Chain A
Amino acid sequence: MSATEYIVRTKDVVKVFTLGEEKLRALDGVNVDIRRGEYISIMGPSGSGKSTLFNAIGGLDKPDSGSVFINDVDMAQLDAGELAYLRCHTIGYIFQTFNLITVMTALENVTLPTIFAGTPTDDGIARGMELLDIVGLGHRYHHKPSQLSGGQQQRVAIARSLANNPSIILADEPTGNLDSKTGEEIIALLRRLNKEQGVTIITATHDYKMVDVSDRVIWIRDGKVEKIENRADIQLSIGGMAGEAEHLAGAAGVDAVG
Chain B
Amino acid sequence: MTTEATETGRKPKAEGVGGGIKTQINLPWSKAAQIAMNSLKIRFWRSMITGAGIFLGIAFLCFSGSPILISLFQHKLVPGPDLNRQVWLVVMALLVCTVGIMNSMLMSVSERFREIGTMKCLGALNSLIVRLFLIEALFMGFVSSFGGWVLGFFAVFLVRWITLGWAGGVTSLTPGIIAGSLVLSVLIGGALTLIAALLPAQRAAQMPPAAALRTEV
Mark contacts of B94-125 with chain A using CB atoms, 8 A cut-off: 1 yes-contact digit, 0 otherwise.
00000000000000000000110111111111
The verdict on A79 contacting chain B, using a C-beta distance below 8 Å, is yes
A77 at the interface (CB under 8 A from B): yes
Q: 1/0 per residue B9-46: CB within 8 Å of A? A: 11101101100011111010001000100010011000
Option from B16, B17, B115, B209 in Cβ contact (under 8 Å) with A60: B209
A71 on the interface (CB 8 Å rule)? yes
B155 beta carbon closer than 8 Å to chain A: no
In the complex, A117 has a CB within 8 A of chain B: yes
Select which of A4, A61, A104 is within 8 A of B208 by beta carbon: A61
How far does the Cβ of B120 sit from chain A's closest Cβ, in whole Å?
7
Contacting pair A85 B43 (CB below 8 A): no
How many residue-residue contacts, CB under 8 A, span A and B?
114
**Which A residues touch B27, using CB under 8 A?**
115-116, 118
Q: Are A99 and B118 in contact (CB under 8 A)?
A: yes
- A19 contacts partner chain B, Cβ-Cβ < 8 Å: no
- The answer to whether B210 and A61 touch across the interface, beta carbons within 8 angstroms, is yes
- Within A151-173, which residues are at the interface with B (CB < 8 Å)? 160, 163-164
**Residues of A contacting B22 in the complex (Cβ-Cβ under 8 angstroms):** 82, 85, 89
Chain B residue with the shortest CB-CB distance to A115: B35
Query: For B115, what are the chain A residues with a Cβ–Cβ distance below 8 Å?
Result: 101
Measured in the bound complex, the distance between the Cα atoms of B22 and A88 in whole Å is 11
Please give the distance in Å from A141's CB to the nearest CB on chain B. 15
Contact B13–A77 (Cβ < 8 Å): yes
Is B120 a contact partner of A73 (Cβ separation < 8 A)? no
Interface-centre pick from B2, B13, B122 (highest chain A CB count, 10 A): B122
Asked whether A46 is an interface residue with its Cβ less than 8 Å from the other chain, the reply is no
- CA gap between A84 and B127 in the complex, in Å: 11
Complex Cα–Cα for A60 and B120 (A): 9
Q: Which of B16, B43, B114, B209 contacts A71 (CB 8 A)?
A: B16
B209 surroundings in chain A (CB, below 8 A): 60-61, 87
* Distance (whole angstroms) from the CB of A202 to the closest CB of chain B: 15
A165 CA to B121 CA, complexed, in Å: 15
A1 interface contact, C-beta 8 A: no
A116 near B128 (CB under 8 angstroms)? yes
Give bound CA distance, A113 to B123, whole Å.
7
Establish whether residues B21 and A78, one from each chain, have CB atoms under 8 Å apart when the complex forms.
yes
Looking at chain B's contact residues, the main secondary structure is: loop
Q: Is A103 an interface residue (CB 8 A)?
A: yes
Shortest distance in angstroms between A92's beta carbon and chain B's nearest beta carbon?
A: 9
The residue that A113 contacts in the complex, of B4, B7, B13, B122, with Cβ under 8 A, is B122
A84/B24 in contact, CB under 8 A: yes
> What's the least CB distance linking A100 to chain B, in Å?
8
In contact, A112 and B122 (Cβ under 8 angstroms): yes
Q: Which chain B residues border A77 with CB–CB below 8 Å?
A: 11, 13-14
How far is it, in angstroms, between the C-alpha of A61 and the C-alpha of B10 when the chains are bound?
19
| Interface pair A80/B126, CB less than 8 Å apart | yes
Given known contacts A72-B16, A99-B121, A99-B213, A85 and B23 CB-to-CB distance under 8 angstroms: yes
CB neighbours (8 Å) of A103 from chain B are 39, 42-43
User: B6: CB under 8 A from chain A?
Assistant: yes
Residues 34-86 (chain A) with a chain B CB within 8 angstroms: 55, 58, 60-62, 71-74, 77-85
Specify which chain B residues have a CB less than 8 angstroms from the CB of A79 in the assembled complex: 5-7, 9-11, 23
Which residues of B are found within 8 Å of A104, using beta-carbon distances? 42
Q: Enumerate chain B residues within 8 angstroms of A80, measured Cβ to Cβ.
A: 4-7, 125-126
User: Can you list 17 A-B pairs with a CB-CB distance of less than 8 A?
Assistant: A62-B208, A79-B9, A83-B5, A84-B124, A85-B21, A85-B123, A88-B122, A88-B123, A89-B123, A93-B121, A95-B213, A99-B114, A99-B117, A99-B118, A115-B27, A116-B119, A118-B27
Interface residues of B (CB under 8 A from A): 2, 4-7, 9-11, 13-14, 16-17, 21-25, 27, 31, 35, 39, 42-43, 114-115, 117-126, 128, 208-211, 213
* Given A71-B17, A79-B9, A163-B122, 4 new contacts (CB under 8 A): A79-B6, A87-B120, A115-B27, A116-B27
